[in-house]
Amino acid sequence: MTHAITLPMTKEAAATLRAGDAVSLSGVIYTARDAAHIRLCELLDAGKPLPIDINGAAIYYAGPTPPPPGFAAGSIGPTTSSRMDFAAPRLIRLGLMCMIGKGARSAEVTEAIRECGAVYLAATGGAGALLAARVVSAETVAFPELGAEAIRRLVVRDFPATVATDSLGGDIYAQGRENYLRERRK
């Protein structure tokens, strides 16, 4: 079963998801990678407002390539999420409800997800061109000087992902390691 989720993400919607569930996202997703997260933290440190409404937001750790003719975005595969772990707990506590990327997260991020009822989703690495076909529109909304790492507002339809860390702290990466070790002991 695939959960159809309309963004922005709510706590109620996040609470229905469990690690390993398939989701199909429709609505607004913001892209932000390392450099954008540094800038967001600098704004917060200076007491300035963020350039996006973080409340209920979904941030995709990706930087799309220029769009080919007929597409809103070019290839848009996920980057390694742990690179944003320095900023994620702070943003989650400010209302960020959904992160999308690839790879395991730190204990601090998992704790913030559980504490705030958020969710972390995994997008398929290596499928950036296919994921781009799910982007209806894209516009740069902050830090254009960062090029591919600028924050973009994407409108997506039926964007596929898998729940990697659910709002209770269930984690497919930890479960995978446990299953592997259990099988190895047999």
Count the neighbouring beta carbons within 10 Å of the beta carbon of residue 182.
9
Degrees (nearest 5) of the Cα angle 26, 30, 35? 155
Task: Produce one character per residue of 1-39: b if its CB has 16 or more CB atoms within 10 Å, e if not.
Answer: eeeebebbbeeebbeebebebebbbbbbbbbbbbbbbbb
Outline where DSSP puts E strands in 95-172: 98-101, 119-122, 135-142, 151-165
CB 33 within 8 A of CB 63: yes
- CA 135 to CA 131: how far, in whole Å? 7
Beta carbons of 170 and 16 less than 8 angstroms apart? no
Q: Is 3 a catalytic residue?
A: no
Which residue of the set 14, 19, 37, 134 is catalytic? 37
For the annotated catalytic residues, the residue numbers are 37
